[in-house]
Amino acid sequence: MNLKEIKEVINSSIPDKQKKECIIGILAKDEKLIPTLMIFLSVERQNKAELIDDMNLELSRAHIYIDERPPIKNESKAAFNKNFVIDKISEFYIKYKSVVTHCFNRFN
């Protein structure tokens, strides 16, 4: 894949439609394009699988905290510590900040 040539096309002043056609032409010349794309897809699938596993873990942890939470007056006897749950969810958002955001940020 000729990244230098692709970069030149992207940075050129030609219209976007022509840029797309030029990039497709550059990629079409690459005999190793399909195996390279398959590697990209494999990595992306693995990353998405990890994201889903981690998201399910954090949602499950929050769900357990909500279900098992004692009345407010007995907060100190909670089986699951609120700060622990919040810290774990924060770690999740930090780890995936370029991929996932909570729904309240969708308009930013």
Q: Minimal CA–CA distance to 54: which of 96, 5, 17, 86? A: 96
For the cut 80, the answer to whether the pLDDT of residue 107 exceeds it is no
Q: What pTM value is reported for the model?
A: 0.54
Question: How many degrees, rounded to 5, is the angle at CA 36 between CA 55 and CA 11?
Answer: 90
pLDDT in tens, 16-31: 999 999 999 999 999 9
- Domain spans of the chain? 48-105
Listed in sequence order, the residues at least 6 apart from 68 whose beta carbon sits closer than 8 Å to its beta carbon are 78, 79, 80
pLDDT in tens, 60-104: 887 777 766 665 555 555 555 778 888 888 888 888 888 876 666
Q: How many residues are listed for the chain in this entry? A: 108
Under a CB-based contact definition with an 8 Å cutoff, are residues 19 and 10 in contact? Answer: yes
